[in-house]
């Protein structure tokens, strides 16, 4: 990736990609793809979207349109833009509509495959249904997000940190409208903060993890991504966060969907 960034900085427009035998296996056109991230991707697209009913009674939430385009398609297009070709969709509710819409991805120059839960497996358990991953790193994300996260920088940060897993995070600010007293065990005041702002970081539903981490997920059991993060911490493995400095919206409720319709007019995804 670093070499590609050098070519890009030097205004190269097209770069051939060679294998170990110096055979051309791909052509990177910087007009259509910004880089090549060596990772596979898994998008979780099986939820019922109950809070968005009646919109989701006959349409799966990932296919609800924002600005005339399905939510999930924005994410797939942005993954394609950073060179990710192998995309696995974990489907369940009204799955046939998603399969019909994207097919095998060949018309998009992608390799799209599907896995379907026979029973609820949580927010990460279904990843074990994927037969094989070509790369050692995997991007996992919810399919109902609208975001312009910089995947290249996210992946670069993950690799440079030598982490086992990275989680993208959004900042959440709490403004206290009063002066806050900090006291010790004896209720003696240690400091005074006038109307402070506290910043917390929330899980944004986008992750990068090493393929080896998958062995920590129990087979055929309900298992959430937060359970995996707990296991990583318990085993003293490295879990890092990556702050999203751009746009991010989790479309979970009607007001979120309405907001997305307005935001899409002013942001670039």
Q: Determine how many CB atoms are found less than 10 A away from the CB of residue 94.
A: 20
DSSP 52: G
Domain check: are 23 and 133 in the same one? no
In a domain, 51, yes or no: yes
Strand (E) or helix (H) holding 174: strand 165-175
Q: Are residues 140 and 241 in the same domain?
A: yes
Considering the domain architecture, whether residues 120 and 230 belong to the same structural domain is answered as yes
Q: Are residues 160 and 125 in the same domain?
A: yes
Sign of the C-alpha dihedral, residues 166, 171, 122, 134? negative
150, 76: one domain? yes
Asked whether residue 173 is assigned to any structural domain, the reply reads no
Degrees to nearest 5, angle at CA 107 with 91 and 104: 30
% pLDDT > 90, the chain: 59
Q: Tens digit of pLDDT for each residue in 118-130?
A: 888 889 999 999 9
161 and 138 within one domain: yes
Statement to judge: residues 2 and 64 lie in one domain: no
| CA–CA gap between residue 232 and residue 228 (Å, rounded) | 6
pLDDT at 240 over 70: yes
Who contacts 161 (Cβ-Cβ below 8 Å, separation ≥6)? 238, 240
Q: Establish if 194 belongs to a structural domain.
A: no
Based on the domain organization, do 27 and 77 belong to the same domain?
no
Structure tokens at 148: 């312009």
Domain of 1? 1-32
Please give the pLDDT value at position 182.
80
180-190 average pLDDT score: 79
With 0-12 / 13-18 / 19 or more C-beta atoms within 10 angstroms meaning exposed / middle / buried, residue 175 is exposed
* Domain shared by 11 and 118, yes or no: no
Rounded CA gap, 138 and 211, in Å? 6
Do 232 and 120 lie in a common domain? yes
β-bridge partners, 165:
209, 239
Quick one: which of 248, 208, 189 has its CA closest to 37?
Answer: 208
186 in a structural domain: no
The per-residue pLDDT for range 7-25, each reduced to its tens digit, is: 555 555 555 555 566 666 5
Percentage of the chain modeled with pLDDT above 70: 87
**3-state class (DSSP) for residue 216:** helix
- Tens-digit pLDDT profile for residues 50-82: 899 998 999 999 999 999 899 999 999 999 989
Q: How many domains does one find in the chain?
A: 2
DSSP summary character for residue 55? T
Element housing 15 (H / E): strand 14-18
């Amino acid at each position: 990736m670093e070499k590609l960034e050098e070519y890009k900085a030097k205004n190269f427009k097209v770069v051939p990609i060679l294998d170990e035998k110096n055979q051309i296996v791909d052509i990177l056109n910087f007009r259509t793809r910004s880089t090549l991230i060596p990772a596979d991707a898994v998008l979780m697209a099986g939820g019922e979207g109950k809070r968005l009913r009646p919109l989701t009674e006959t349409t799966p939430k990932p296919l609800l349109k924002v600005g005339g385009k399905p939510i999930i398609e924005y994410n797939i297009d942005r993954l394609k833009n950073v060179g990710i070709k192998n995309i696995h969709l974990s489907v369940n509710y009204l799955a046939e509509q998603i399969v019909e819409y994207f097919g095998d991805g060949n018309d998009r120059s992608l390799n799209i495959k599907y896995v379907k839960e026979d029973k609820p497996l949580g927010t990460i358990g279904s990843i074990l249904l994927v037969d094989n991953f070509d790369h050692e790193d995997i991007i996992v994300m919810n399919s109902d997000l609208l975001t312009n996260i910089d995947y290249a920088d996210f992946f670069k940060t993950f690799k440079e940190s030598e982490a086992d897993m990275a989680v993208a995070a959004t900042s959440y600010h709490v403004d206290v409208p009063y002066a806050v007293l900090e006291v010790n065990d004896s209720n003696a005041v240690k400091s005074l903060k006038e109307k402070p702002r506290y910043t917390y970081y929330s899980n944004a539903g986008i992750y990068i993890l090493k393929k080896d981490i998958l062995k920590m997920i129990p087979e055929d059991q309900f298992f959430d991504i937060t359970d995996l993060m707990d296991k990583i911490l318990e085993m003293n493995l490295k879990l890092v966060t990556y702050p999203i400095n751009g746009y991010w919206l989790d479309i979970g409720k009607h007001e979120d969907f309405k907001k997305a319709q307005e935001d899409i007019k002013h942001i670039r995804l």
